[in-house]
Structure 1
Amino acid sequence: MASTNSPLRAFPFRLAVALAVTTSLMVVGIVGVNLAIDSKLSVIKRVDVAVASAPPEGANYLLIGSDTRSFVQGSTEEEAFGTGSDVGGQRSDTMMVIHVEPGSQQTLAVSFPRDLWVDIPGVGNSKINAAFNDGPDKTIETLKANYGIDINHYIEVDFESFRGIVNAIGSVPIYFPYPARDELTGLSVIAGGCIRLDGYNALAYVRSRYLEYYNVETNRWYPADAVPDINRIARQQDFLRRLAGIAVQKGLNNPLTANEIADQALKNLTVDSSLSKGDIFDLIDAFRTINPNDQSALDFQTLPWSSGTEQGQSVLIPKQPEANEMIAKLKEFGNAPPPATETVDPSTIKVKVLNASQKEGLASATLKELVKFGFKDGGTGNDDRGTIALTEIRFRPGSESKAKTLFSYVDPRARLVKDSSLKGSDVELVLGTGFKKLVKPISTSVPATSGTTDLATETPAPISNESKLGPPALRTRPC
């Protein structure tokens, strides 16, 4: 029977598993190009899973985070992470679909919260996590039945990989403005500043939901987070990008380190029996072009949800239309072409804007904004299909560069569609329900990975009780 405190341990642990999953894939993809992949494949465990055939443009990978505690040794680790008896052995507490297109420099990872209410085929209505009780085939069947998502490959990992990767690269530097602790996870930082975390402390950090900072003058601890879940997510994403950046730098500069990183990432993986050497190289091609410090390149999302109650249980319900818009991105391939090789002057591009969003006046307002950016007015109208989810940029043959120039102005990214029937304009911008806004393009060049990597990130989430904590510690490199 689970102990009374196991839910507290399990809740933040799921997020650490998510980091283990994404880090394993990312690091293997980034450093794997330097390794003899053939010699690594034999250590990967394989299972027979019914997966769909992958389209030529890429694949959807179902990633399951297994929360086995088999790695736990000694009372200290039992206190911090729990034991198998605390959480009922092994189960799935993280479910993520990674949408990979080797020709793209962006990869989308969508997490499906374990409490999503779904119809499990042959079982009935339940939380999506229950689908894994009947194995990966039932999970794949459930995703298809509820969301229409085809899964092309299956990968399962436990978070010992995460700790092993951190230890393989040595440590990850994290800035703490004050002494910090989380009594639940075991995190303890005795002084503020740039602190290097090993594998054990890295896990304690990314699991932290009750982070506190210490005021040395008043000798008091204060909650660090104004909104704990939001701040924790920001810390996790920052840590993951730092980890990837260091892995790139050390893996490319030292083949022995690269080998150790790959060993740690691969040894705890279980994959479908159809995952081939070619599929692994497709993963490598997709991930090794990513700039780990570019947050748009590593697009981590959670399926939009709202709270609900079903059969007396607190559950999560997909929030519409946002959930369907995100699911559409997982179902479509060929949406993210390589960047344009040349810059096209917007004044030479005639754009017609069509509305397929059900938002009245959106086409006219968008065209006016495009004209302000310098594009030529090609008129507006409504798309004959009525409503679409993904925004499209339709272009005539020979106008690829013009379409890619417009592509860089659209947020979120649009689908490029070649259309030989297009007349009266160079390109058509068809606004789907997922369209948000136009943006002015910024440089997206990838920095060199050798030498010193600048791991600075955007401004972190605000600190709670900052006025009570006094001046923060000096922030120095490499933090």
Structure 2
Amino acid sequence: MAVAALVGIVLLVVGGLGVGWWAFNQIEKVEVADVLSPPSPNGMNILVVGTDSREGIESDAENADAFLGGGFSDAGPSRTDTMMILRIADGGQTLLSIPRDLWVRNPVTGENGRINAVYQSGRPALIQAVQGLGIPVHHYMEINFVSFAGLVDAVGGIEIDFPHPARDTNSGLDVPEAGTRTLDGVEALAYVRSRYYTELIDGEWVSDPTADLGRVTRQRAFVSALLRKVAGTKNPFTALSLAQTLGDSAGLKLDDAMSYPEALGLGWQLRSFDPASETLPVVGVNRGGASTLDLGPGADAVIAQFQ
């Protein structure tokens, strides 16, 4: 879900400078400039975050259960549902997914825990936690559930090929037949959030053994397809609809250090979006019955590519 936030930057150029300036001013700017890494001649890293915030969702709204997880009881504080680093350098674009169960130190509390919970201590804390892994963060983007689903609907859905029928009763995913299926916003959200992905193979439901890591792979493929479709938008009315979706839901946020000229340049670069993908090597660690992840052998070499 996270890289869908980059759609907002692509919008700055899709409909021309007029729509771009209007769209840029609709995006909320968050105060994180003080903790961002200084610019580097080697490239730019953007921390792109998808949160599980239910802000703006009414309990009686259509498809509310898809967002609220089956009820409108206290959903608890927001956490990061997805995190990715997008690196843009002379050599091209590279995506690195950060598993939500990665065990890190919270720079605010000084305690160790899953990285997806650090968001509760504030966006600056999350940025610093990622920097603590050895990855500079030059810019920050964020999107929530509502904006993500709205973006998918605004572009007319995204085609995904399913080799087998698939489902996840936890996320709400239900694909009864194999083949190419155009996912709408709610279906897309269920797909990219699926952590208990199962497929009907030879008459039996088979769970994806890769769990959250498999979810990361599906997310990368989906958001790449979404960005390519948005970047290929030629109709200015579609571009305006996308921008209004972002502005109305207040779900897209950028760091307060990004200027309009910088965002415009970034948008042009992302019109040709075909990033390489890197996987952060991790090992599973059981901590008091909780499944967590530590950096594994080879992680230093991967992180070095983002420095």
Q: 1:242 to 1:312 in 2, by over 3 A?
A: closer
Residue 86 (structure 1) shift: 5.0
Amino acid across the alignment from 1:97:
I
Q: Does 1:315 align with 2:292?
A: yes
The Cα offsets for residues 123-147 of structure 1, whole Å up to 9 and x where unpaired, read as 3341233432221222223333x33
The Cα offsets for residues 70-99 of structure 1, whole Å up to 9 and x where unpaired, read as 344437734433256453042323333222
Q: Does 1:223 align with 2:200?
A: no
Q: 1:161 to 1:31 in 2, by over 3 A?
A: same
Residue 240 (structure 1) shift: 2.9
Where 1:22 maps in the other structure, the secondary structure is: helix
Q: Does 1:299 align with 2:276?
A: yes
Q: Which residue number in structure 2 is paired with residue 160 of structure 1?
A: 146
Could you tell me how far apart the structure 2 residues matched to 1:131 and 1:231 are?
23
Question: Which stretch of structure 1 is more off in the superposition, 206-215 or 298-307?
Answer: 206-215
Q: Does 1:186 align with 2:162?
A: no
Amino acid across the alignment from 2:280:
L
Where 2:40 maps in the other structure, the secondary structure is: coil
Residue 330 (structure 1) shift: 1.2
Where 1:129 maps in the other structure, the secondary structure is: helix
Q: 1:93 to 1:34 in 2, by over 3 A?
A: same
Residue 273 (structure 1) shift: 1.4
Q: Which residue number in structure 2 is paired with residue 68 of structure 1?
A: 53
Could you tell me how far apart the structure 2 residues matched to 1:214 and 1:315 are?
29
Asked if the contact 1:60–1:151 (Cα under 8 Å) also holds between the matched residues in 2, the reply is yes
Asked if the contact 1:167–1:198 (Cα under 8 Å) also holds between the matched residues in 2, the reply is yes
Could you tell me how far apart the structure 1 residues matched to 2:128 and 2:79 are?
18
User: What is the correspondence of 1:45-444 to structure 2 with a 5 Å cutoff?
Assistant: 45-49=28-32, 50=34, 51-73=36-58, 74=60, 77-81=63-67, 82=69, 85-101=73-89, 103-104=90-91, 106-121=92-107, 123-127=109-113, 128-144=115-131, 146-176=132-162, 180-208=166-194, 209-213=196-200, 222-225=204-207, 227=209, 229=211, 232-249=215-232, 251-252=233-234, 254-265=235-246, 267-290=250-273, 297-310=274-287, 313-320=290-297, 322-331=298-307
Corresponding residue pairs, total: 295
Residue 175 (structure 1) shift: 3.6
Residue 167 (structure 1) shift: 0.7
Could you tell me how far apart the structure 2 residues matched to 1:213 and 1:64 are?
31
Q: 1:329 to 1:85 in 2, by over 3 A?
A: farther
Could you tell me how far apart the structure 2 residues matched to 1:48 and 1:310 are?
34
The Cα offsets for residues 163-212 of structure 1, whole Å up to 9 and x where unpaired, read as 11211111223344565544333334455544322212222233343434
Could you tell me how far apart the structure 2 residues matched to 1:307 and 1:202 are?
28
Asked if the contact 2:166–2:197 (Cα under 8 Å) also holds between the matched residues in 1, the reply is no
Amino acid across the alignment from 1:99:
R
Could you tell me how far apart the structure 1 residues matched to 2:245 and 2:9 are?
9
Could you tell me how far apart the structure 2 residues matched to 1:260 and 1:76 are?
20
Could you tell me how far apart the structure 2 residues matched to 1:77 and 1:45 are?
26
Residue 319 (structure 1) shift: 0.7
Amino acid across the alignment from 1:148:
G
Q: 1:226 to 1:85 in 2, by over 3 A?
A: closer
Could you tell me how far apart the structure 1 residues matched to 2:290 and 2:178 are?
42
Residue 122 (structure 1) shift: 5.3
Q: 1:260 to 1:58 in 2, by over 3 A?
A: farther
TM-score (norm 1): 0.54
Tell me: higher relative CO, structure 1 or 2? Use CA pairs within 8 A at least 6 residues apart.
2
Q: 1:143 to 1:222 in 2, by over 3 A?
A: same
Asked if the contact 2:96–2:280 (Cα under 8 Å) also holds between the matched residues in 1, the reply is yes
Where 2:306 maps in the other structure, the secondary structure is: helix
Where 1:87 maps in the other structure, the secondary structure is: coil
Where 2:78 maps in the other structure, the secondary structure is: coil
**Seq. identity, %:** 33
Could you tell me how far apart the structure 2 residues matched to 1:143 and 1:238 are?
23
The Cα offsets for residues 257-312 of structure 1, whole Å up to 9 and x where unpaired, read as 1222344356421222111012202321331233xxxxxx3234342111224577
Where 1:42 maps in the other structure, the secondary structure is: helix
TM-score (norm 2): 0.80
Asked if the contact 1:70–1:84 (Cα under 8 Å) also holds between the matched residues in 2, the reply is no
Could you tell me how far apart the structure 2 residues matched to 1:231 and 1:213 are?
16
Could you tell me how far apart the structure 1 residues matched to 2:165 and 2:109 are?
50
